[in-house]
């Protein structure tokens, strides 16, 4: 096919017949003979067969022109030639050639109409070109005729018309110049109306017009005058911009911004605005402080105006400190609010402008410039937030540190904290700042104030404790510390940074920022009247009872059911665990239980004293300060823990200290309690009577942080048997401490929330090692009562008179058992008498009974260990006596099991042990004293063992006792 195309190219555009005739045999193509054509016409070829013949042609025949077909065919001849094969191969080639020739002829004939059509188009184009040439020739001829036909008169008319037009333009220019001369008056009027955009627009138009007519000599002077006017407008515009800093007005600021935009100085305006805000902060605080200083000085001397702001702050008096601080913050709030509203204006303006640009995006260059200006202004405003807040912080810090606040009243200092806390909240909403400068300055003042305040409060607490008679403070059974003024802030769900005492918060204010709340009107630093001062706390109950009915029923007979509260009639609730059984408790159980529960004849109001209430109020005040100012949270909680420590130590010192504790072997003081008391004594209690003049300064500072040990009031009598050795006072003191510990437990989540993470181990240690030990103080305190309430020495004397070497088994118990039971009955009666003064809670009565029974059982063992002679019948008598004692005792108390019951039974049963069993028994029972064990060996086994065996057992006792020493 490539050869056919090249052949057609060389032949040029000819008729199909000529093209067919020009085909050369050299190109391996020939024209079919007449015979072949006749055959073709006679026998119409099958197109499919023809196509198959063409497809059977070898690919090499369709290669480039340099291919030599003859050479190729000759080389393909076999070595031995066969005429028949050659003729067959020749016929095949002829068929292929005829098929190709037929195909080429068909293609040529098929394209002939297109060729004829194209030839006609060329002929038509040639005719069009000839016509165009004729038209051009005619046009040139007509132009020459017109040129020759113009006359001088026609040109003169045109010249006069042109001159007329120029004169009309001159008249218009003269009128414009006349108008320009009168613009000064209009500009002055616009400036008086504060229409800065209109004035600048007019001035710029005048300048543009003046530049248009600058070729007139009268205009040159006008142009310089307009430039001076424009500069004057810029100066007035800067003054107008400065007014925004204290009292933002939307319309005023809109005009100013439009004016600056007309001048093309939007960025310059923003730089100037920040300078004005900085200057406004400085001028505002100086004028506020200066006004108070001059007012307090009482004269009009101008020397204060020459002072620096830092020096001026030191002249503020204590009386004017708080009003000045409030006014200072109010003035600074106005400045920050103006800045906030300025940012709001730009945000809204940018949104409106972006909406306009999106609807009409024709001026791309102007849009890009506006976008650049908007981005610059936005970044400048955002950056200015922190700068302005930093200036505010520094000014307020200087004011704060200019006066020593350590001698302020508590409420006044809380108000200062409240104002600064509100200011820090403003800073956080203003620019997200944590106000480190303010926090550090107020922390310094707070720590300084709080150390002085806490020292005074500790001294007051010592005075309270030393004058406390430990009488019950009558409060209602529904009393809660949340009812006290000092804890009202815990009930209000709001940010801890908001004042707990001065600023009432609403539920909606927590979700609305101060800027949103006071944007339209008002000021968050307005001093509001404290409505809480008008409130009265309704926590005290008249004479200890909440109603006359309860007072009447408090003294009814114990056997009646009227003294049993309804909740106890329904279900008994264990006061120690708080668990209520599923099944209702029977009336018999109630009757038996109330013998040891001495709180049923009083309303179950909390047991606390005036001192306890005072400590709780102090804790509330400390928490107020801590809640407002979290940076000193650790110091406040540390001082708060000292209040509890001192109260705990005082109760222990007054009622629980006794050197006989450890000698009893009862384990009354846990190791944790002893550790806590030792820690308090070392860290908080000043044991020195007078200061050592030769002591170091460090020692003096340490002593300043300590408080002398309190002394019990001489009005409190703990030695009278009728009052059970001051049991009422002991109950009030100990249970008020337990109540105080419960309040600390209640406050733990609040303390934990504000405690710094690094200091939380201190808080956890305080609760786990100190607060939780308050209830453990019951044992040593009430042990002293139990040790004196029953005459254990008399019982030992009665037991010494009993003969234990009887020969027959007795059926009657000994007299000492009845005497001991009478002591317990008397103890029960005196408990009832005390309970009429002070409610005795169930845990207290249980501990008292437990101590008494434990001491009685140990006295029994000691009495049995004093026996000189004992028979088997005597041992049976011991068991009879002890069983009689247990049976009668169980009717007096509901404590189960009886404490140390096994201690006595095990000792009595040891009388029956053999020699071999006794040695292992001695090693296992180390709770008995050497004397008691020795008596067992000498009395029980001495009658039927030899001296050597006895010496061995005594040696075992000595070895067992040695580690105890």
pLDDT of the residue at 184: 64
Q: In terms of DSSP bridges, do strands 685-686 and 707-708 run parallel, antiparallel, or are they unpaired?
A: parallel
The conformational region for residue 264 under phi > 0 = left, psi -120 to 50 = alpha, else beta, is left
Contact 587, 598 (CB under 8 A): no
Which range among 430-444, 532-546, 806-820 shows the weakest confidence by mean pLDDT? 532-546
pLDDT of the residue at 614: 92
pLDDT (average), residues 530-536: 46
pLDDT of the residue at 724: 83
| CA separation for the pair 478, 669 (Å, rounded) | 33
Which range among 364-378, 423-437, 747-761, 903-917 shows the weakest confidence by mean pLDDT? 364-378
Which range among 5-9, 43-47, 786-790, 906-910 shows the weakest confidence by mean pLDDT? 5-9
Which pLDDT band, with edges at 50, 70 and 90, does 15 fall under? Answer: very low
Which pLDDT band, with edges at 50, 70 and 90, does 129 fall under? Answer: very high
User: Is pLDDT at 368 greater than 80 in this prediction?
Assistant: no
User: Is pLDDT at 354 greater than 60 in this prediction?
Assistant: yes
Residue 845 half-sphere exposure toward CB, CA atoms < 13 A: 26
User: What is the C-alpha R_g of the chain?
Assistant: 58
| CA separation for the pair 8, 144 (Å, rounded) | 52
Which range among 41-45, 70-74, 833-837 shows the weakest confidence by mean pLDDT? 41-45
Which pLDDT band, with edges at 50, 70 and 90, does 646 fall under? Answer: very high
User: Is pLDDT at 121 greater than 70 in this prediction?
Assistant: yes
pLDDT (average), residues 226-232: 70
- Residue 199 CB neighbour total at 10 angstroms: 27
CB-based burial, 484-517: b 16+ in 10 Å, e otherwise: bbbbbbbeeebebbbbbbbbeeeeebeeeebbee
> Nearest Cα to 418, choosing from 520, 481, 474, 501?
501
Which pLDDT band, with edges at 50, 70 and 90, does 301 fall under? Answer: low
User: Is pLDDT at 692 greater than 60 in this prediction?
Assistant: no
| CA separation for the pair 258, 240 (Å, rounded) | 13
The contacts of residue 807 (CB under 8 Å, 6+ apart) are 871, 873
Q: Which two tokens stand for residue 722?
A: 């009728």
User: Is pLDDT at 619 greater than 90 in this prediction?
Assistant: yes
pLDDT of the residue at 179: 64
Residue that has been written with the tokens 């009872």 in this structure? 545
Query: In angstroms, what CA-CA distances link 923 with 789, 837, 858, 911, 959?
Result: 34, 49, 20, 16, 9
Which pLDDT band, with edges at 50, 70 and 90, does 215 fall under? Answer: low
The contacts of residue 770 (CB under 8 Å, 6+ apart) are 641, 644, 645, 648, 676, 680
Own/partner long-range contacts of 807-812 (Cβ < 8 Å, ≥24 apart)? 807/871, 807/873, 808/873, 809/873, 809/876, 809/877, 810/873, 810/876, 810/877, 810/880, 811/880
Q: Which two tokens stand for residue 282?
A: 């400085």
| CA separation for the pair 862, 865 (Å, rounded) | 5
pLDDT (average), residues 858-880: 88
User: Is pLDDT at 38 greater than 60 in this prediction?
Assistant: no
Which range among 281-285, 616-620, 671-675, 690-694 shows the weakest confidence by mean pLDDT? 690-694
pLDDT of the residue at 649: 92
Contact 821, 887 (CB under 8 A): no
Which range among 150-159, 362-371, 431-440 shows the weakest confidence by mean pLDDT? 362-371
User: Is pLDDT at 239 greater than 60 in this prediction?
Assistant: yes
| CA separation for the pair 489, 482 (Å, rounded) | 9
> Nearest Cα to 417, choosing from 389, 388, 447?
447
| CA separation for the pair 489, 626 (Å, rounded) | 12
How many percent of the chain have pLDDT more than 70?
Answer: 72
Which range among 281-285, 554-558, 827-831 shows the weakest confidence by mean pLDDT? 554-558
The contacts of residue 291 (CB under 8 Å, 6+ apart) are none
Residue that has been written with the tokens 């995006």 in this structure? 361
Q: Helix, strand, or coil here: 246?
A: coil
Most confidently modeled of 256-265, 750-759, 933-942? 750-759
pLDDT (average), residues 792-818: 87
CA dihedral 826, 829, 835, 836 (to 10 degrees): -130
User: Is pLDDT at 299 greater than 50 in this prediction?
Assistant: yes
If you ran DSSP here, which 8-state letter would residue 480 be given?
-
| CA separation for the pair 678, 681 (Å, rounded) | 5
Positive or negative, the CA dihedral 427, 428, 430, 435 is positive
Better-predicted residue by pLDDT, 572 or 514: 514
Contact 288, 331 (CB under 8 A): yes
User: Is pLDDT at 530 greater than 60 in this prediction?
Assistant: no
Contact 534, 527 (CB under 8 A): no
3-state helix, strand, coil split of the chain in percent (to 5) is 70, 0, 25
Centroid of chain to Cα 288: 35
Residue that has been written with the tokens 């002398």 in this structure? 708
Contact 942, 950 (CB under 8 A): yes
pLDDT of the residue at 58: 79
Most confidently modeled of 75-89, 570-584, 665-679? 75-89
User: Is pLDDT at 884 greater than 50 in this prediction?
Assistant: yes
| CA separation for the pair 106, 108 (Å, rounded) | 5
Enclosing H/E stretch for 619? helix 610-628
CB-based burial, 680-706: b 16+ in 10 Å, e otherwise: bbeebbeeeeeeeeeeeeeeeeebeeb
pLDDT of the residue at 616: 94
pLDDT of the residue at 563: 40
pLDDT of the residue at 508: 39
Burial class (CB in 10 A: 0-12, 13-18, 19+), 474: middle
pLDDT of the residue at 611: 92
| CA separation for the pair 675, 672 (Å, rounded) | 5
How many percent of the chain have pLDDT more than 90?
Answer: 13
Burial class (CB in 10 A: 0-12, 13-18, 19+), 831: buried
Residue that has been written with the tokens 């058992």 in this structure? 817
Burial class (CB in 10 A: 0-12, 13-18, 19+), 83: exposed
Enclosing H/E stretch for 548? helix 548-553
User: Is pLDDT at 566 greater than 80 in this prediction?
Assistant: no
pLDDT of the residue at 942: 57
Own/partner long-range contacts of 847-850 (Cβ < 8 Å, ≥24 apart)? 847/778, 847/779, 847/782, 848/727, 848/782, 848/785, 848/786, 848/789, 849/596, 849/893, 849/895, 850/895, 850/899
Q: What are phi and psi of 356, to 5 degrees?
A: -65, -40
Better-predicted residue by pLDDT, 869 or 946: 869
pLDDT of the residue at 613: 93
| CA separation for the pair 671, 863 (Å, rounded) | 30
User: Is pLDDT at 823 greater than 80 in this prediction?
Assistant: yes
pLDDT (average), residues 242-269: 80
User: Is pLDDT at 511 greater than 70 in this prediction?
Assistant: no
pLDDT of the residue at 475: 86
pLDDT (average), residues 144-162: 73
Positive or negative, the CA dihedral 939, 943, 944, 946 is positive
Q: Which two tokens stand for residue 569?
A: 């009639």
Which pLDDT band, with edges at 50, 70 and 90, does 532 fall under? Answer: very low
Which pLDDT band, with edges at 50, 70 and 90, does 478 fall under? Answer: confident
> Nearest Cα to 666, choosing from 849, 851, 883?
851
């Amino acid at each position: 096919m490539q050869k056919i195309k090249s052949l057609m190219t060389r032949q040029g555009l000819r008729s199909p017949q000529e093209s067919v005739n020009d085909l050369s045999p050299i190109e391996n193509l020939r024209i079919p003979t007449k015979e072949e054509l006749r055959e073709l016409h006679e026998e119409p070829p099958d197109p499919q067969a023809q196509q198959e013949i063409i497809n059977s042609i070898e690919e090499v025949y369709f290669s480039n022109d340099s291919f030599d077909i003859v050479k190729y065919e000759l080389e393909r001849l076999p070595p031995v030639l066969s005429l028949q094969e050659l003729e067959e191969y020749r016929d095949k080639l002829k068929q292929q050639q005829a098929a190709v020739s037929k195909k080429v002829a068909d293609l040529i004939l098929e394209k002939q109409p297109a060729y004829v059509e194209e030839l006609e188009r060329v002929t038509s184009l040639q005719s069009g070109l000839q016509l165009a040439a004729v038209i051009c020739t005619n046009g040139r001829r007509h132009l020459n005729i017109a040129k020759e036909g113009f006359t001088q008169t026609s040109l003169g008319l045109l010249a006069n018309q042109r001159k007329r037009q120029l004169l009309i333009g001159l008249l218009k220019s003269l009128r414009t110049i006349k108008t320009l001369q009168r613009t000064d008056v209009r500009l002055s009027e616009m400036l008086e109306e504060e229409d800065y955009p209109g004035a600048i627009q007019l001035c710029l138009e005048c300048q543009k017009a003046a530049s248009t007519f600058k070729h007139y000599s009268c205009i040159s002077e006008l142009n310089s005058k307009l430039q001076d006017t424009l500069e004057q407008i810029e100066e007035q515009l800067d003054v107008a911009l400065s007014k925004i800093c204290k009292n933002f007005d939307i319309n005023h600021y809109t005009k100013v911004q439009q004016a600056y935009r007309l001048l093309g100085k939007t960025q310059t305006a923003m730089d100037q605005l920040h300078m004005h805000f900085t200057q406004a902060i400085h001028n505002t605080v100086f004028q506020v402080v200066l006004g108070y200083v001059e007012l307090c000085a009482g004269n009009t001397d101008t020397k204060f105006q020459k002072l620096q702001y830092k020096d001026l702050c030191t002249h503020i008096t204590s009386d004017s400190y708080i009003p000045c601080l409030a006014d200072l913050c109010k003035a600074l709030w106005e400045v920050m609010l103006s800045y906030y509203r300025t940012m709001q204006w730009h945000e809204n303006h940018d949104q409106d402008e972006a909406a306009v640009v999106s609807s009409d995006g024709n001026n791309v260059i102007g849009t890009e410039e506006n976008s650049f200006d908007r981005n610059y202004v936005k970044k400048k405003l955002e950056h200015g937030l922190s700068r302005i807040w930093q200036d505010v912080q520094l000014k307020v810090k200087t004011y704060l540190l200019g006066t020593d606040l350590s001698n302020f009243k508590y409420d006044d200092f809380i108000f200062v904290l409240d104002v600064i806390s509100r200011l820090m909240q403003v800073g956080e909403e203003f620019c997200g700042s944590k106000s480190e400068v303010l926090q550090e300055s107020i922390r310094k003042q707070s720590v300084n104030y709080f150390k002085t305040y806490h020292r005074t409060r500790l001294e007051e607490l010592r005075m309270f404790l030393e004058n406390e008679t430990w009488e019950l403070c009558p409060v209602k059974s529904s009393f809660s510390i949340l009812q006290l003024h000092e804890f009202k802030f815990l009930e209000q769900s709001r940010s801890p940074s908001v004042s707990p005492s001065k600023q009432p918060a609403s539920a909606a204010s927590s979700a609305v920022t101060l800027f949103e709340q006071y944007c339209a009107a008002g000021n968050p630093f307005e001093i509001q009247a404290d409505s809480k001062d008008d409130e009265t706390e309704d926590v005290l109950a008249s004479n200890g009872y909440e109603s006359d009915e309860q007072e009447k029923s408090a003294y009814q007979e114990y056997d009646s059911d009227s003294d049993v509260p309804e909740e106890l009639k329904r279900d008994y609730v264990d006061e120690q665990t708080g668990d209520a059984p599923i099944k209702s408790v029977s009336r018999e159980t109630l009757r038996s239980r109330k013998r040891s529960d001495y709180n049923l004849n009083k309303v179950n109001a909390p047991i606390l004293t005036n001192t306890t209430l005072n400590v709780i109020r102090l804790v509330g005040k400390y928490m107020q300060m801590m809640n407002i100012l979290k940076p000193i949270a650790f110091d406040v909680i540390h001082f708060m823990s000292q209040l509890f420590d001192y109260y705990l130590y005082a109760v222990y010192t007054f009622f629980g200290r006794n050197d006989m504790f450890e000698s009893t072997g009862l384990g009354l003081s846990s190791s944790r309690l002893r550790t806590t008391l030792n820690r308090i004594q070392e860290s908080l209690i000043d044991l020195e009577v007078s200061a050592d003049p030769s002591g170091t300064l460090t020692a003096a500072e340490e002593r300043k942080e300590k408080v002398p040990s309190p002394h019990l009031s001489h009005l409190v009598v703990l030695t009278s048997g009728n009052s059970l050795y001051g049991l009422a006072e002991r109950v009030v003191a100990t249970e008020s401490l337990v109540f105080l510990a419960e309040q600390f437990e209640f406050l733990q989540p609040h303390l934990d929330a504000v405690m710094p993470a690094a200091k939380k181990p201190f808080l956890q240690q305080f609760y786990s090692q100190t607060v939780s030990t308050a209830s453990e103080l019951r044992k040593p305190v009430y042990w002293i009562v139990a040790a004196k309430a029953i005459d254990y020495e008399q019982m030992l004397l009665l037991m010494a008179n009993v003969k234990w070497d009887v020969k027959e088994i007795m059926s009657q118990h000994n007299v000492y058992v009845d005497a001991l039971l009478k002591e317990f009955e008397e103890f029960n009666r005196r408990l009832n008498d005390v309970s009429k003064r002070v409610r005795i809670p169930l845990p207290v009565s249980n501990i008292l009974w437990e101590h008494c029974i434990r001491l009685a059982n140990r006295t029994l063992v000691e009495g049995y260990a004093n026996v000189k002679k004992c028979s088997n019948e005597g041992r049976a008598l011991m068991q009879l006596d002890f069983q009689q004692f247990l049976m009668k005792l169980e009717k007096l108390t509901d404590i189960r099991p009886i404490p140390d019951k096994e201690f006595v039974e095990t000792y009595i049963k040891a009388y029956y042990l053999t020699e071999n069993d006794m040695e292992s028994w001695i090693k296992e029972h180390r709770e008995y004293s050497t004397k008691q064990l020795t008596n067992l060996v000498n009395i029980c086994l001495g009658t039927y063992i030899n001296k050597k065996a006895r010496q061995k057992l005594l040696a075992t006792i000595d070895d067992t006792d040695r580690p105890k020493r």
